[in-house]
């Protein structure tokens, strides 16, 4: 017979109970596994904490006497942190293992009691707790001892510092007393001097008179000592300016004439060779008729010596004509320049130049308008021409005393000097382009070295500069002119 509906329902009821039991067992197994994991991690962490505590205790045993207060406090604080963490971990372990005092194990543990290893861990934990308590007590004892030692050291250091401060205070008080005593002695000495001066007022007047005499004598000695007097300094500056001017003029002269000296020398050599040839020819042409008659008859077909000499003279003349009159004149001009330069650089020429420049400087300083010639030499005529030019330069400088030297004013002054030089030296208008160009170049270079200063401050330097330039140029060209006149007289 088949079963009824109620019987089937009664047989199907035990299945849900088995599923619930399996779920409970699984949950309990997971809980146990979690507890085991927690215990493993806690024990590992507890081991790390105990290692750190052991190291701290080892440090305190080995070098606790040498550590300072801050380091001891830091170690103490770190050790207490380890203790707190260890206590927390132990609480967790007691809770997990059910080893809590005064509490019973959970119901789940009654139904499924923990295995023997957990009980062993609990016993080990209790032993560790006791050991930990002993270590804490030992550590606290060491820390207390270290703290007492630090307090003692601090008291000793404070006593030493107090002693040093007391010594410094005593030393400072002694210095103050010495200074006060010294000030009192000085005040007493000043009072004595004042009383003496009140009784004898003439002493102070005599002392002041002696000091004035000494000061005056020192000032006079200083003013008359070379290197400190105004006149000496002025002379030194003037000599330096003259030296610089000579150096500059020499450099300009070398730059203008150096390229011509080599050509002059070569031209003189060529002309000397030509003159030697002409002289030899003339000597051969002046042989006596007897010597001409004694010539062998076999040589009758050859030209006579006179004919030969005339022919040589004509050939030499033809060569000179072919070279051109301009070349001959150029050679003569170069030779004359060389002679003029040698005369100007001679000892007599330098002496005449120095004397002439001194008279021109006196003329410019006096502001005169007339000049007396003391001789008929070249220097005297040059001196007259320069004075005639300086007569126009001095008023122009006085007019522009307060103005600053600029390129425009320098050009105006250069034109004034060049025009007056042209008018004085070449009254008939037969001037030389070389003279004008060379004079303008040198004056421009000389005046522009004072650019930025006023004419008033450089008046005493510009006049000697211009005078020396005019002397060099005028004396040179006048010597050339005299050489030309000398050649004309010789040819006549």
pLDDT tens digit sequence for 421-445 = 888 777 665 556 667 777 888 888 8
Is the residue at 337 inside a domain? no
Is 218 buried (19+), middle (13-18) or exposed (0-12) by CB count in 10 A? exposed
Helix (H, G, I), strand (E, B) or coil at 97: helix
Q: How many CB atoms lie within 10 A of CB 484?
A: 13
In the predicted structure, residue 286 carries a pLDDT above the cut 80: no
Q: Looking at the predicted structure, is the pLDDT value of residue 101 above 60?
A: no
Region of poorest pLDDT, from 138-147, 205-214, 322-331, 380-389: 322-331
Phi, psi of 404 (to 5 degrees): -85, 140
Q: What is the pLDDT averaged over residues 392-403?
A: 86
pLDDT digits (tens, 9 = 90+) for 208-231: 766 666 565 556 655 555 555 677
Q: Are 447 and 419 in contact (CB under 8 A)?
A: no
Q: What is the pLDDT of residue 104?
A: 39
Distance of CA 353 to the CA centre of its chain: 45
- Prediction pTM value: 0.33
Residue 421 covered by a domain: yes
State both tokens at 153: 């050291």
Q: Which of 490, 435, 480 is nearest to 336 (CA)?
A: 480
Which stretch of 144-148, 171-175, 449-453 has the lowest confidence by average pLDDT?
144-148
Q: Which class for 75: exposed (0-12), middle (13-18), buried (19 or more C-beta within 10 A)?
A: buried
> In sequence order, what are the beta bridge partners of 454?
404
pLDDT at 328: 38
- Give a yes or no: residue 192 inside a domain: no
DSSP states along 264-282 = HHHHHHHHHHHHHHHHHHH
316 neighbors 274 (Cβ within 8 angstroms): yes
End-to-end CA distance of the chain: 191
Residue-wise pLDDT tens digits, 265-279: 667 677 777 777 777
Instruction: Name the token pair of 203.
Output: 């002493």
Domain boundary among 174, 200, 222: 174
The four Cα atoms 450, 452, 457, 462 give a dihedral, to 10 degrees, of 20
For helices 455-491 and 325-344, angle between their N-to-C axes, nearest 10 degrees: 130
Q: Among the ranges 18-32, 35-49, 156-170, 337-351, which has the highest mean pLDDT value?
A: 156-170
Of 11-25, 74-88, 380-394, 398-412, the one with minimum mean pLDDT is 11-25
Q: Who contacts 260 (Cβ-Cβ below 8 Å, separation ≥6)?
A: 334, 337
Residue 165, domain CATH:
1.20.58
Interatomic CA distance for residues 457 and 436, integer angstroms: 28
What is the count of structural domains for the chain?
Answer: 2
Q: Which helix (H) or strand (E) holds 491?
A: helix 455-491
For CA atoms 290, 291, 292, 296, give the dihedral sign: positive
Q: Sign of torsion, CA 462 463 469 473?
A: positive
- CA dihedral of residues 304, 308, 314, 315 (deg, nearest 10): 150
* DSSP at 449: G
pLDDT digits (tens, 9 = 90+) for 24-66: 767 777 777 777 777 778 888 888 888 888 888 888 887 767 7
Q: Tens digit of pLDDT for each residue in 119-161?
A: 455 556 567 666 766 766 676 677 777 777 778 887 888 888 8
Structure confidence at residue 331 as a pLDDT band (50, 70, 90): very low
Q: What is the DSSP string of 290-306?
A: HHHHTS-GGGTTSPPHH
Residue 404, SS3 per DSSP: strand
Q: Which has the minimum average pLDDT: 48-52, 175-179, 281-285, 319-323?
A: 319-323
More confident residue, 301 or 86: 86
- Evaluate whether residue 194 is within a structural domain: no
Q: In degrees rounded to 5, what are phi and psi of residue 286?
A: -95, 20
Q: Choose between 476 and 320: higher pLDDT.
A: 476
Quick one: CA dihedral 5, 11, 13, 16, positive or negative?
Answer: negative
Instruction: Give dist(CA 44, CA 36) in Å, integer.
Output: 12
CB atoms < 10 A from the CB of 121, how many? 19
Rounded to the nearest integer, the mean pLDDT of the chain is 70
Averaged over 328-357, what is the pLDDT? 64
In this prediction, residue 179 has a pLDDT band, given cuts at 50, 70 and 90, of very high
Does residue 63 form part of some domain? Answer: yes
- Two structure tokens written together for 15: 């299945």
Distance CA 92, CA 316 (A): 142
Q: Are 435 and 477 in contact (CB under 8 A)?
A: yes
Q: Could you tell me how far CA 342 lies from the centroid of its own chain?
A: 48
358, two tokens: 């001194």
Positive or negative, the Cα torsion across 283, 288, 293, 296? negative
Give the percent of the chain with pLDDT over 70: 58
Rounded Cα distance, 448 and 20, in Å: 123
Residue 229 lies in a domain: no
Q: Which of 140, 174, 208 is the last residue of a domain?
A: 174
pLDDT of residue 10 exceeding 50, the answer is: no
Residue 198 and residue 201: Cα distance in Å, rounded?
Answer: 6
pLDDT of residue 434: 66
Is residue 221, in this structure, part of any structural domain at all?
no
Which of these three, 174, 208, 241, is where a domain ends?
Answer: 174
Domain of 488, in residue numbers: 346-492
Instruction: Give the pair of three-digit tokens for residue 202.
Output: 């003439």
**Of 183 and 41, more confident:** 183
**Can you state the percent helix, strand and coil of the chain, rounding each to 5?**
85, 0, 15
Q: Is residue 257 part of a domain?
A: no
404's CB contacts (< 8 A; 6+ apart) are: 452, 453, 454
């Amino acid at each position: 017979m088949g079963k009824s509906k109620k019987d089937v329902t009664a047989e199907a009821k035990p299945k849900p109970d088995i599923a619930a039991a399996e779920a409970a067992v699984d949950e309990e197994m997971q809980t146990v596994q979690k507890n085991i994991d927690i215990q493993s991690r806690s024990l590992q962490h507890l081991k790390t904490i105990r290692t750190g505590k052991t190291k701290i205790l080892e440090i305190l045993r080995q070098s606790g006497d040498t550590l300072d207060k801050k380091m001891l406090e830091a170690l103490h604080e770190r050790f207490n942190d380890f203790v707190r963490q260890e206590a927390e971990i132990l609480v967790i372990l007691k809770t997990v293992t059910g080893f809590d005092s005064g509490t019973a194990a959970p119901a789940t543990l009654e139904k499924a009691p923990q295995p023997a290893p957990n009980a062993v861990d609990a016993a080990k934990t209790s032993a560790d707790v006791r050991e930990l308590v002993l270590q804490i007590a030992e550590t606290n004892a060491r820390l207390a001892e270290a703290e007492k030692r630090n307090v003692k050291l601090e008291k000793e250091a404070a006593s030493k510092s107090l002693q040093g401060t007391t010594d410094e205070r005593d030393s400072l008080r002694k210095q103050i007393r010495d200074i006060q005593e010294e000030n009192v002695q000085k005040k007493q000495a000043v009072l004595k001097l004042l009383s003496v001066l009140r009784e004898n007022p003439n002493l102070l007047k005599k002392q002041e008179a002696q000091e004035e005499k000494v000061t005056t004598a020192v000032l006079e000695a200083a003013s008359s000592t070379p290197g400190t007097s105004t006149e000496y300094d002025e002379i030194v500056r003037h000599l330096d300016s003259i030296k610089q001017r000579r150096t500059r003029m020499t450099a300009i002269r070398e730059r203008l004439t150096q390229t011509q000296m080599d050509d002059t020398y070569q031209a003189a050599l060529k002309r000397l060779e030509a003159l030697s040839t002409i002289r030899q020819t003339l000597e051969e042409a002046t042989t006596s008729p007897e010597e001409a008659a004694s010539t062998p008859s076999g040589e009758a077909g050859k030209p006579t010596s006179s004919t030969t000499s005339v022919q040589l003279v004509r050939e030499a003349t033809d060569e000179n004509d072919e070279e051109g009159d301009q070349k001959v004149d150029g050679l003569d001009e170069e030779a004359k320049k060389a002679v003029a330069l040698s005369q100007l650089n001679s000892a007599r020429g330098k002496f005449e130049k120095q004397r002439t420049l001194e008279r021109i400087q006196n003329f410019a300083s006096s502001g005169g308008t007339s000049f007396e010639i003391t001789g008929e030499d070249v220097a005297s005529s040059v001196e007259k021409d320069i004075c005639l030019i300086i007569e126009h330069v001095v008023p122009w400088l006085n007019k522009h005393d307060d103005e600053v030297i600029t390129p425009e004013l320098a050009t105006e002054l250069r034109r004034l000097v060049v025009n007056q030089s042209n008018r004085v030296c070449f009254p008939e208008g037969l001037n030389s382009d070389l003279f004008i160009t060379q004079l303008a170049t040198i004056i421009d270079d000389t005046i522009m070295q004072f650019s930025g200063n006023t004419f008033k401050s450089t008046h005493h330097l510009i006049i000697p500069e211009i005078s020396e330039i005019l002397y060099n140029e005028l004396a040179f060209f006048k010597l050339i002119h005299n050489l030309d006149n000398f050649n004309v007289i010789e040819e006549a």
